[in-house]
């Protein structure tokens, strides 16, 4: 079997290419991809060659872990039906290329337990479920954040989930004026507009800025906690004295767990969590190279999605 896939041959060298894929087993499903999202965090690091050592890392690779598709073939032990709409957090079905994370392709073969059934009416918004699960995981390990740094798509999802779970609305810091809008049930401000001396017991950083810790510690209440929810390619450091005076706590949010995906899918199904207005750009998968450059280079691009439907086999 073969499929068209986004292939990152080396940092900065990306395009569509045919690659071989494994034959499905009785426990697998074959999925024709409808949409796949582009991550401006981890995938940007792959594209620029700045990704830290990571299991499975290497070039050439197929990126992508935010994929939505339609089941077109099922194994006898899969438990899925042909026509099911499913969300897939990446795949490892490719021959002779690395799959990190393997979701940006026309066709995928995946174990049935990695294909999560989603309502068809969610459309391309289903591609946001992995990021929503990441946002949920960032706040599931402790008290909800009173302040969030960064009003990119991850910061927006964290804020929306905090509100959806019934917690007090957080304040969100954002430096980029183009990203100040779009708040749903919470407030977005420029850090300089914050009142002097204002502190928070819980702060969640979704900016990915490795130099931000001193600024956040200065806004932390005694005994408060900072959660690092971004992906940081550079080493983080902070002035010890300030953290010592506040007896600050730091927590790192890792990859989402299946329970996080279940939780956000349930919130969406209950209409408690909206995924609307978060995908700002969509391009045909045939224009993948331009789409990736836009996703990584245009500050007004909040989320880019590749549309694979015109390439459907």
Per-residue pLDDT of the chain (313 residues; tens, 9 = 90+): 899 999 999 999 999 999 999 999 999 999 999 999 999 888 998 999 888 777 778 899 999 999 999 999 998 999 999 999 999 999 999 999 987 789 999 999 999 999 999 999 999 999 999 999 999 999 998 899 999 999 999 999 999 999 999 999 999 999 999 899 999 999 999 999 999 899 999 999 999 899 999 999 999 999 999 999 988 888 999 999 999 999 999 999 988 999 999 999 999 999 999 999 999 999 999 999 999 999 999 988 999 999 999 986 5
**C-alpha span between 105 and 6 (Å, rounded):** 6
Domains of the chain in sequence order: 2-127+278-311 (3.90.180.10), 142-252 (3.40.50.720)
* Residue whose C-alpha is closest to residue 23's, from 103, 108, 114, 117: 108
pLDDT value of position 311: 85
pTM for this prediction: 0.91
Please tell me the distance from the alpha carbon of residue 252 to that of residue 204, in angstroms, as a whole number.
Answer: 10
The two three-digit tokens of residue 5, written as one number:
């896939």
DSSP β-ladder status, 98-99 and 61-62: parallel
Identify the pLDDT of residue 147: 98
Q: What pLDDT sits at residue 149?
A: 98
Kindly give the interhelix angle for 153-164 and 258-269, rounded to the nearest 10 degrees. Answer: 70
DSSP-H helix ranges across the chain: 42-48, 129-140, 153-164, 213-218, 240-246, 258-269, 288-297
| CA pair distance 45, 12, nearest whole angstrom | 10
Q: Please report the pLDDT score of residue 313 as a whole number.
A: 55
pLDDT recorded at residue 53: 75
In angstroms, the Cα distances linking 268 to 34, 97, 126, 274, 279 are 20, 35, 10, 6, 16
């Amino acid at each position: 079997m073969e499929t068209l896939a986004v292939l990152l041959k080396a940092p900065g060298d990306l395009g569509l290419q045919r690659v071989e894929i494994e034959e499905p087993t009785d426990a697998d499903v074959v999925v024709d991809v409808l949409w796949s999202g582009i991550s401006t965090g981890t995938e940007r690091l792959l594209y620029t060659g700045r990704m830290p050592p990571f299991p499975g890392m290497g070039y050439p690779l197929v990126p992508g872990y935010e994929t939505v598709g339609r089941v077109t073939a099922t194994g006898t032990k899969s438990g899925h039906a042909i026509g099911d709409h499913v969300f897939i957090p990446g795949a490892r079905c490719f021959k002779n290329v690395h799959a990190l994370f393997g979701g940006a392709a026309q066709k995928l073969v995946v174990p049935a337990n990695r294909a999560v059934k989603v309502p068809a009416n969610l459309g391309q918004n289903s591609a946001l479920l992995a990021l929503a699960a990441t946002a949920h995981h960032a706040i599931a390990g402790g008290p909800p954040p009173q302040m969030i740094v960064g009003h990119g798509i991850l910061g927006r999802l964290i804020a929306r989930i905090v509100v959806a779970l019934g917690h007090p609305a957080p304040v969100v810091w954002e430096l980029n004026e183009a990203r100040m809008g779009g708040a749903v049930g919470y407030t977005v401000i420029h850090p300089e507009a914050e009142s002097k001396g204002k502190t928070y017991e819980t702060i969640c950083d979704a900016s990915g800025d490795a130099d931000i810790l001193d600024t956040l510690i200065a806004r932390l209440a005694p005994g408060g906690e900072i959660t690092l929810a971004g992906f940081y390619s550079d080493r983080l450091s902070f002035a010890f004295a300030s953290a010592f005076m506040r007896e600050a706590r730091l927590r790192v949010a890792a990859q989402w767990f299946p329970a996080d995906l279940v939780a956000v899918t349930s919130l969406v199904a209950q209409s408690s969590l909206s995924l609307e207005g978060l995908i700002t750009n969509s391009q045909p998968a045939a224009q993948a190279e331009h789409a990736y450059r836009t996703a990584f280079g245009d500050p007004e691009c909040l989320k880019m999605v590749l549309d694979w439907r015109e390439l459907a086999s």
